[in-house]
Amino acid sequence: MKFNWKVALIRIPINGLVLVITAWILPDMQIREGIMSFLILGASFGILNAVLRPVIQFFTLPLIFVTGGAIIILINAILLWVLEHFLPERLQFDSLITLLLAALLVGLLVLILESLFGITPPIIDRTLVEANRSSE
């Protein structure tokens, strides 16, 4: 498997945009304004998603199946909480309810924007299917 730099570079502004939109919707979530804050938050959230999310998902795998995936909201909340503690001058939540609502919104917005920009890989890669057909 090869690392895709294009996808990584597209996800940084998407993560930043998702956090800004979420802060705009939720008045109890504050984000420091500015393009640098936008990029730092986007890159930091992307790194947390790449490094910490798989570890948390591994340990909560049975809960993911039992809850029908609803535990993903809690995983997003944990990632946002870690991000808030690493960058308290750039991101703050006033309450736990705001953090949980932000986790829900972040999950939905990431899903929508990544699908819109074509970042999420298809379940079945048509090029692989066609390559297998031509080799038969």
Angle at 87 between CA 84 and CA 89, to 5 degrees: 100
Which helix (H) or strand (E) is 136 found in, with range?
none
In this prediction, residue 119 carries a pLDDT of 77
Percentage of the chain exceeding pLDDT 70: 85
Q: How confident is the model at residue 99 (pLDDT cuts 50, 70, 90)?
A: very high
Give the side-chain half-sphere CA count within 13 A for 31. 25
| pLDDT single digits (tens) 3-57 | 667 777 788 888 889 999 999 999 999 998 888 888 899 899 988 988 898 899 9
Average pLDDT over the chain reads 85
Tokens of 39: 């990029």
Tokens of 54: 């798989």
| pLDDT single digits (tens) 110-128 | 989 888 887 766 555 566 5
Other beta carbons less than 10 A from residue 135's beta carbon = 6
In this prediction, residue 103 carries a pLDDT of 95
Which helix (H) or strand (E) is 93 found in, with range?
strand 91-93
Distance CA 99, CA 74 (A): 10
